[in-house]
Structure 1
């Protein structure tokens, strides 16, 4: 039996085949493609037609090569969604969470619902980009698409609908929305009522491992492929990635490192305290009935933007050379808060970095290597500070950090993180999200019995690298200066 994982990130997508052989999970890349937003009018959107076309290419390649693919699962980034009209058609390409329509929306939201009450209900980190606030923005602007909508489908739900014709909302992705009650794991209708957004457009909730349906006859004919069962997985990519770290130990925190860095711990129940809210922690759904207490941190986004900016300016340098330059650059020249709003989607990332340094009376990096080192050192400090918050709010005594995802390949950042936190760091596997996606499918088809068995299989199947702290004393007195007027 083989499984197909479609993993959509904010910057790229991939379709990966997995199968179990001699107790080990084997992966095979079948299709990769870029992903980026486009601007239509003044709105930043995802090109869903293009993304679905790339998914279909992956399915076609896979089914032409193998005749034993039994299941398919889709995971994506969180919060974003598509609206389906009464005729069953997508009303418009989904709006990207980096669009400016939610700028300042929290002030409007808190006129309608108390911040502490909202957190106590959902346990979700209160961010402007959350689905609830995107919907509120649409309501306040009398958005025609919201008025015409019959159903809301989060991004993975939207792909599943176009694959099968079945409309469902998956639990882990729904937990990013600020609309789901963390304790009942169902829609919180009082939140919908308070915000004045329609609860009727939400769909039936399904959980990881549930069968959504089968590839539609029309799609099978188009792709000249055989029917495949489509399953709900950890449809939020964080849930799938974190599933890989499930067996790392009770004292190990995880870090899913990509465009975003998601750092957290596995728990049995949500933490809905004021302390967790003030620490900006979020409770998201995991697989196997777990809660992921975590913090959303801007990850490789700043580095990705800086590299793209240098490329546009004709000063492109390969990532390997950039990291070598960063390793040789002067340490601790300046630090930035990677989560400052000015870095969300600036016209110039390098310009925003320079402005932050000026605002906080720090020297501005003068080279590409200096920029990269400052970004990576700042991330390491952010990880250190976040681990302190997780320890305080969860009560866990964290002794190690397990980094998965594309960012696990950044050896310089891994070393900085070990030194800054004083913890042993385990890095890998890189394709953690696809692995977690496939493991849920394998559990759904009963090829794997449970999550503990899946965790042991990960340990047998993939190599990791270990980093041990060596210079913690150099980091202990380093802190990130905060801008005095972060609203600008």
Structure 2
């Protein structure tokens, strides 16, 4: 029998490959989590574009809400986080004008060059502070404008993915700060829409609505959804709705500045700061200033993460040579190969076969070629650690003083060899965990909104008491 008295918060966490609904509550100063529902997320190629199946995702989220109600939880809030940059458009009647297009769609190819015929790139960075990536919302919208797409003409509001889920739960349309910051359309200092950028590109100004910050109640479940799910009139609460923002909120550290590596398919490496860093050096080093919980800034680099290793593991499985991480990582630890590959090279972006691409790259460049799977894995992980060292060196040049420790969060924090190699390369301690950082940050931000937690520092102290970080000290 579930404890129906204890306040429970539901995190709807959507990733590029799957989503889940997780319940969390505080018990004796610690966070208790339970996964309620997990479901797939897929990209759908239809006609000329690649879409997200938003109606299916919304239905799966409602299934998770129903299951939580059936378990008897005393649900006090729902928070939603997703990947960045993607959005849906709604018309003046509140209808969704089409399934959101996936950031991997080809419509933004060449768009940065078109935009920077209009905008000065240096001045633009000094305003928005965002790393130029063709997938960003700005370029998606400008591609729609150039093609004179009807959706853009009919649209009343632009809602990023978490905003869209929230809107169809509550009927209230607003834009959460952290997810909006990924768009390349926010004034980084003012934490408000960059109206000069929007006007210069001729984008409809009415699309960009009220910005709300993490810890704000966005709205309450619409009557029909409250009834359908069995939850009643529950608040939908703004969290760090870019998944990395929620993950960084859950870093179990209070020493400032907090340096983090959100480790998964992508690696997001940076620090949390009070104000954006908008220098030309930061722009040249491709750092981005994204919003964080508590009005903070996540000053970070986007780096290829475990993508190469994930592809290798899937290829080996497909040809009947499946490897277990528990087996291959210890083998890689013993492998004797020094080869370092540039993990961000285009050769590894999306090759037909990742193993072939890696071996061919080594041969072409005169590197020692891995001879077995353990050496391949060792090569990938030490290459990642080397890339992290380069990123930290660039990061330190942008900061008043160098970082003294690195907190690795997310699924990649389970990779013990990568953690140790990173500590060795950086020459500083590495603290690994929590794995479920995104859900933890989401849930505890809701608890903060409801007054159960005083502030971001108190939130992180709860994380520290709730999880045990493993520490890796440099060996060289």
- TM superposition score normalised by structure 2: 0.94
Which residue of 217, 223, 235 corresponds with 1:217?
A: 223
C-alpha displacement of 1:389: 1.2
Matched residue, 1:428 = 433
Matches within 5 A, 1:69-84: 69-84=75-90
CA shift digits 1:255-298 (9 cap, x unpaired):
11122211111111111100000010011111112111111112
* Structure-2 separation of matches of 1:314 and 1:85: 49
Q: 1:283: which partner in 2?
A: 289
**What SS does structure 1 have at the residue aligned with 2:294?**
coil
| Deviant stretches of 4+, over 6 Å | none
Does 1:38 find its partner at 2:41? Answer: no
Residue 305 (1) aligns with residue 314 (2): no
Distance 1:145 1:251, change over 3 A: closer
Match of 2:3 in 1: none
1:317 aligned counterpart, secondary structure: coil
Aligned partner of 2:210 in structure 1 is 204
Contact between 1:132 and 1:177, CA under 8 Å: does it hold in 2? Answer: yes
Instruction: Give the conservation status (yes or no) of the 8 Å contact 1:98–1:344.
Output: no
1:80 deviates by 1.1
Pairwise CA RMSD: 1.9
The aligned counterpart of 1:454 is 459
SS of 1:398 mapped into structure 2: coil
Matched-pair contact (CA < 8 Å) for 2:340–2:386: no
- Alignment partner of 1:176: what SS? helix
Q: Which residue of 1 aligns with 2:333?
A: 327
Query: Are 1:194 and 2:200 an aligned pair?
Result: yes
Pick from 166, 191, 200: which aligns with 2:172?
Answer: 166
Match of 2:403 among 389, 398, 405: 398
TM-score by length of 1: 0.91
Q: Render the CA deviation track for 1:90-144: whole Å, top value 9, x for unaligned.
A: 2222222222222222211211111101100001111111110111122223333
Conservation of the 8 A alpha-carbon contact between 2:108 and 2:134: yes
Return 5+ residue gaps in structure 1 as ranges: 472-488
In the aligned structure 2, how far is the partner of 1:319 from the partner of 1:44?
32
Unaligned runs of 5+ in 2: 1-6
Could you tell me how far apart the structure 2 residues matched to 1:390 and 1:325 are?
32
Which residue of structure 1 aligns with residue 251 of structure 2?
A: 245
Q: Using the TM superposition, give the Cα deviation of residue 354 of structure 1 relative to its aligned residue in structure 2, in angstroms.
A: 4.3
Q: Give 1:112-131 correspondences, 5 Å limit.
A: 112-131=118-137
Distance 1:199 1:371, change over 3 A: farther
**Contact 2:213–2:295, Cα closer than 8 Å, also in 1:** no
**Shift, 1:403, TM fit:** 0.7
Q: In the aligned structure 1, how far is the partner of 2:154 from the partner of 2:336? A: 56
1:447 positional shift: 0.9
Q: CA deviation at 1:251?
A: 5.0
Tell me by how many angstroms 1:16 deviates. 1.2
Structure 1 CA distance for aligned equivalents of residues 210 and 174 of structure 2: 5
Contact in 1 for aligned 2:252/2:463 (Cα 8 Å): no
For the pair 1:58 / 2:64, whether they are aligned, the reply is yes
